[in-house]
């Protein structure tokens, strides 16, 4: 390690036009991208970035994400993203995130669950392989957002298909997890398009590879909540559960 791991990492973000949707609100995929980068910046100086871990034959992959959204950041707004490792439960690692505006008001609080895998065959590891490299600092605190949990689609109906493109593929050889947030948005029923999300859960179930055909389904879970999921011929790739606050 080149540096001691700090208990938390703060990143200043000015929301750019390419981060936002047609209503000037930050896209969920942009939220995920900045969180991914903040985690990398937190661990990288200690020699635990993705390139360093890859040299040890291991990598972190996101498995579940839960976010409570009080308000999405807006175009050209200057906000602060804070992240920290919270704890480990067996092979599962939990990282927290807080987004605050210039006045310190809470915008988003979320928890991401990660799994440690082998870079050669993507086999799930126990987690000790990472802990042997460096002890992680104790969590300074948690967030108000509950941990990600299991959910089901009660009455799914077909919503369309998507063929995975080369531009979707990341360094791990499959679709980057941030793209699933965009796909969930693309398959929303029309009445939900343009509404502000309040609670979002994403389950990264399986790999999507180039030229895979994703078959999407949607399920309405009450007046304000919709679930979106997609499958390949190998099984489920992702599922999202989104509750909206201004329906």
Q: Two tokens at 240?
A: 């999202």
How deeply is 69 buried, as exposed, middle or buried, from its count of CB atoms within 10 A (0-12, 13-18, 19+)?
buried
Q: Do domains 9-131 and 157-244 have the same CATH topology?
A: yes
Which pLDDT value is given to residue 65?
98
How deeply is 170 buried, as exposed, middle or buried, from its count of CB atoms within 10 A (0-12, 13-18, 19+)?
exposed
Does domain 157-244 fall into CATH 3.10.129.10?
yes
Q: What is the rounded distance in angstroms from the CA atom of residue 235 to the CA atom of residue 28?
A: 24
Q: What is the rounded distance in angstroms from the CA atom of residue 133 to the CA atom of residue 195?
A: 44
Q: For residue 183, give the 3-state DSSP assignment.
A: helix
* Average pLDDT per 10 consecutive residues for the chain, totaling 247 residues: 77 98 96 96 90 90 96 98 93 95 98 92 87 80 92 95 93 87 94 93 94 96 95 96 84
Cβ neighbours, 10 Å, residue 206: 16
The model carries a pTM of: 0.93
Which pLDDT value is given to residue 210?
92
Q: What is the rounded distance in angstroms from the CA atom of residue 93 to the CA atom of residue 17?
A: 32
Please tell me the CATH code under which domain 9-131 is placed.
Answer: 3.10.129.10
Which pLDDT value is given to residue 246?
63
Smallest CA-to-CA distance from 200 within 241, 153, 245, 156 is with: 241
Q: What is the rounded distance in angstroms from the CA atom of residue 209 to the CA atom of residue 165?
A: 8
Placement of tokens 């949607």 in the chain: 218
Which pLDDT value is given to residue 170?
87
Cβ contacts of 123-128, under 8 Å, gap ≥ 24: 124/91, 125/58, 125/91, 126/90, 126/91, 127/88, 127/90, 127/91, 127/92, 127/93
Domain boundaries, the chain: 9-131, 157-244
Q: Are 148 and 201 in contact (CB under 8 A)?
A: yes
């Amino acid at each position: 390690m080149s540096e001691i791991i700090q208990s938390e990492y703060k990143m200043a973000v000015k929301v750019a036009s390419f981060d936002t949707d047609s209503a000037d609100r930050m896209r969920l995929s942009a939220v995920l991208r900045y969180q991914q980068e903040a985690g990398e910046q937190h661990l990288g100086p200690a020699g635990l970035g993705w390139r360093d871990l890859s040299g040890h034959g291991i990598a972190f992959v996101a498995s579940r994400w839960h976010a409570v959204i009080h308000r999405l950041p807006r175009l050209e707004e200057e906000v602060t993203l804070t992240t920290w490792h919270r704890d480990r439960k067996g092979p599962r690692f939990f990282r927290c995130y807080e987004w605050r505006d210039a006045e310190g008001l809470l915008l988003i609080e979320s928890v991401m669950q990660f799994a440690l895998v082998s870079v050669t065959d993507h086999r799930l590891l126990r987690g000790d392989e990472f802990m042997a490299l460096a002890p992680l600092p104790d969590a300074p605190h948690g967030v108000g957002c509950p941990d990600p949990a299991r959910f089901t689609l009660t009455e799914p109906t077909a919503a369309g298909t998507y063929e995975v493109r080369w531009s979707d593929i990341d360094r791990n050889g499959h679709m980057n997890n941030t793209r699933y947030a965009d796909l969930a948005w693309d398959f929303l029923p029309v009445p939900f398009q343009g509404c502000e999300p309040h609670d979002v859960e994403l389950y990264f179930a399986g790999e999507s590879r180039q030229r895979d055909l994703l078959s999407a389904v949607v399920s309405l879970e009450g007046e304000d909540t919709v679930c979106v999921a997609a499958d390949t011929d190998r099984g489920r790739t992702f599922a999202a559960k989104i509750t909206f606050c201004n329906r």
